[in-house]
A and B are shown apart, each in its own frame.
Chain A
Amino acid sequence: MLTFYSASTGAVNSKKAIRYCIETALEKEASLNCDLLMIYSSIGHDFEEILSEAHNLLPQTIVVGCTGAGVVGKEGSNEGMRSLAVMAIKAEKRQEFAVSYCDNIRGFNSYEQAHQMAKDLQAENDQINMVMILASGIDIAADQAIRGIEDVLGPDIPIFGGTSSDNSKAVSSFQFFNQKILERGAVLIGFADPGLELVSGANHGNIPIGMPFTVTKSEGNRVFEIDGQDAWPFLMRKLDLPVSTHPGETLAIAGLGEQIEDDLAEEYGNKFVLRIIVKVDSERKSFYMPVESPVGTRLWLTKRDEQHTFNGLDVLIGRIKKQVGNRKLVAIFHTDCVARGRLLFNRISKEEIIKHMQEPLLEGTNIPWLGIYGFGEFTLLGGRNCFHNYTTSIYALVRS
């Protein structure tokens, strides 16, 4: 049986921060140890120091993690340059989880790399019943990665997690595996605790505006042309921004909507799934989507709608609570899009969003919570694995 413990801090000294998180998470335990340590860190920390201190404190523990624009713990959210959160996991039997990683996942090889990582997980344990993924947020083609995992572990394997980010600059982000700091890597964590089940959901509050435009030339997740014009200049004109604008500067306003099937819209609370752009080519002509964008894909500009955001969140949390039912909530993982932090919301609204999630779910209890502001979210939709942007995604681990 897996047991979860969490803590977070805004302490700027990296060594002190990781020590505080580990000691606080495990403070009620007889000894300072765990089998798996998941670390979310914002981009300003000294990662080498964090991993080295984690190893000093927990020499036998497997360490995984990634960077984000901020972290969320049961203590609240923190988007400082040096925020840190951990989830410590203890396993009754070492076989209750497996981990694998790769150090170079890109748009063109996302399927192959994910496929190999899934095979590595399967080789370690063929009883894995859910997979958590932490992957590079700038380079990955997320839908390909999902297919790579499903082709090994089956289409019904629930995949949840997120992609790493920096502080919304869209320059580079990092992933951690034991003492390794990866820049284009991915980590899979397979859980094989038969009593553990996943209840999850995602929601965003954007609404489409104006008329759609159409992808007229693309290759995989790279979009060359929209409505017959160079894709990036076209989009920048629409947003009244110069072509030289870095994608990081457009994160808050360049969320592109893509229509989803009607039968999924109700569960999603929205007729559109959103896509984030974090990479453009060096000539500033084409851009990269986190999923494939075949010719004919219709895209909408979208804008956030505060009422939609809060209402959608309440519906999402209500549905998760209903699905949890009488089962025991043992831990909550959470991925929020970078744009749902200070990029799109002022501090009061952002704290309100976190409160809208945590108060009804935690109900004053001390259930471990580990969240991150990343570039994208892996969350089931309509029972199928799916990649999202600009959402709040909640993954509640429950036990009957």
Chain B
Amino acid sequence: MKKLQYEELEEMTRDLQARVEKGITVEQDLINTQNELDAELNRFRLMQKYSSEALKAPDLASFCELTVEYFVEIFNLPRALFLELDEEAGQVVLAQFGLAEYEDQLARIFDKSIVDGNKSKIIRKGETGYEAILKLGLEEAIICPICDQEENCKGLVLAGLKKKEIVFYDSIEEKIADSFALMTQKAGDHLQILRVNERLKKGIAHATKELEEQAEELKRSNQDLEQFAYVTSHDLKAPLRNIASFVQLLNRKYQDQFDEEAREYMQFVLGGVHRLNNLIKDLLQYSRVNRLDAGLEHVDLHDVVEVVKHNLADMIKHQSAEIQIGRLPLFRANYSQMVQLMQNIVSNAIKFNRAGVAPLIRIEGGENAREIYFSVSDNGIGIDARHKEAIFSIFQRLHSADEYEGTGIGLSICKRIAERHKGKIWFESTPGEGSTFFVQIPRNLKRI
């Protein structure tokens, strides 16, 4: 009886031991299943991360590099290839990981035998496509085409491993096929977005380049024109001075021998010389506005107006013009150019007066936090609003030289001076009542 109890106990212990030992492997199976689930979840987590990083890729090359690196990380395979099929260029290697030594073969891998519709496909020894992947030194590979909406193959992603790597890496398992296809689709979608962006960027860059070229051409043309105006006017000045001197000498010395007709001709010549001299002088001034280095200094506009009044004293007296001066600003500008600007506006205000009405001119100004401004108002003939732009163009005259003397350069010089000071000039006018010219210039200019 006692022996039987011992045997029973021993039998029970053995049975319990076997159950416990069996339990270890069962528990391990559970852990393995959990880990497989973890691995799948991790793949999706990494795919999300890939999508977010791919959107931030600065250019196509970075995106493609990022893509193959993510394929390696997500699918735990050491080698990857990202290939695009281009209608013109054929097979284009976008990026590779761990396949650099097969560079010559990479762009020849695509073959209809290695892709299966739009699904991913695992290729192993003995299967269609094995010869192709063997050329890349791979023993196993998973391949998925990138297809457009019409299911045309536009590229592929391949990931695989060499025979010797199967020691550490696991053989490619069917369970990754779906996530590989999903990841390939993501890569394809991102590639398409990048391609569209690239085309847009190229278009914008091309348009920008064209605009820049046109601007450059315009600048060059303007410079040439200025150069031409300067050289022409400068070179004309000396012979013109000769002509003027000798015509005046001729007039003085032989005046008595001229008949009435000859004297009239001589007056025409002298008037022409005078107008030509003014034109050259104005042209020179116009071209000099931008040609010369203009230093800045503190300019009191009261001083400027006083100088202008002095320069135009004969004209003021002759036209019985009255100039009223209000509050005027103190600011940084080029003194000579400010005198030139003010003189051109004031002389126009006197010149374009209404018949029988003495010119009344008011000059005033002010300042705010960002700029100074001043205006010159007159009671002259006024300007039609449709000449708003034309009036500041060079050689643009609204009246004939017979009506009002002038070269048509004065206001364009004013515009140039204002713009060189990073400011602007404009006018408001009521024809028959008068005009007001406004000038606005930034405060505290550092340089022009």
Contacts and interface: CB of A to CB of B under 8 A. Distances in A.
B217 to A, nearest CB: 45
Contacts of B72: 12, 82
Nearest to B42: A347
Contacts of B17: 210-211
Given A169-B168, A252-B28, A209 B76 contact: no
B69 A12 contact: yes
B168 A44 contact: yes
A347 B38 contact: yes
Nearest to A211: B17
Contact of B38 (A167, A241, A346): A346
A223 B16 CA distance: 27
Contacts of A11: 69
A336 B27 CA distance: 21
A344 interface: yes
Interface in B18-41: 20-25, 27-28, 31, 34-35, 38, 41
A264 interface: no
A308 interface: no
A220 interface: no
Contacts of A81: 76, 78, 168-169
B73 interface: yes
Contacts of B21: 209-210, 238-240, 301
Interface in A236-264: 238-241, 252-253
Contact of B24 (A10, A13, A166, A239): A239
B167 interface: yes
Interface residues on A, range: 20 to 34
B395 interface: no
A1 interface: no
Nearest to B72: A12
A246 to B, nearest CB: 11
Contacts of A169: 167-168
Given A211-B17, A253-B25, A301-B21, A346 B168 contact: no
Nearest to A345: B31
Interface residues of B, number: 26
A345 B28 CA distance: 10
A171 interface: yes
Interface in A10-31: 10-13
A301 B25 CA distance: 12
Interface in B60-107: 69, 72-73, 76, 78, 97
Contacts of B35: 342, 346-347
Contacts of B41: 347
A211 to B, nearest CB: 6
Which of B16, B22, B35 has most chain A Cβ within 10 Å? B35
Nearest to A341: B35
B267 interface: no
A5 to B, nearest CB: 25
B13 interface: yes
Nearest to A45: B78
B31 A344 contact: yes
Nearest to B38: A347
A294 interface: no
A301 B19 CA distance: 13
B31 A346 contact: yes
A53 to B, nearest CB: 16
B168 A167 contact: yes
Interface of A: 10-13, 43-44, 80-82, 166-167, 169, 171, 209-211, 238-241, 252-253, 301, 303, 342-348
3 smallest CB-CB distances across A and B, nearest first, come from: A346-B34, A347-B38, A210-B17
8 contacts: A10-B73, A12-B69, A44-B76, A238-B21, A241-B25, A252-B31, A342-B35, A346-B35
Given A12-B97, A81-B168, A211-B13, 16 more contacts: A10-B73, A12-B73, A13-B97, A44-B76, A81-B169, A209-B24, A210-B17, A238-B21, A239-B21, A241-B25, A252-B28, A301-B24, A342-B38, A343-B31, A347-B42, A348-B38
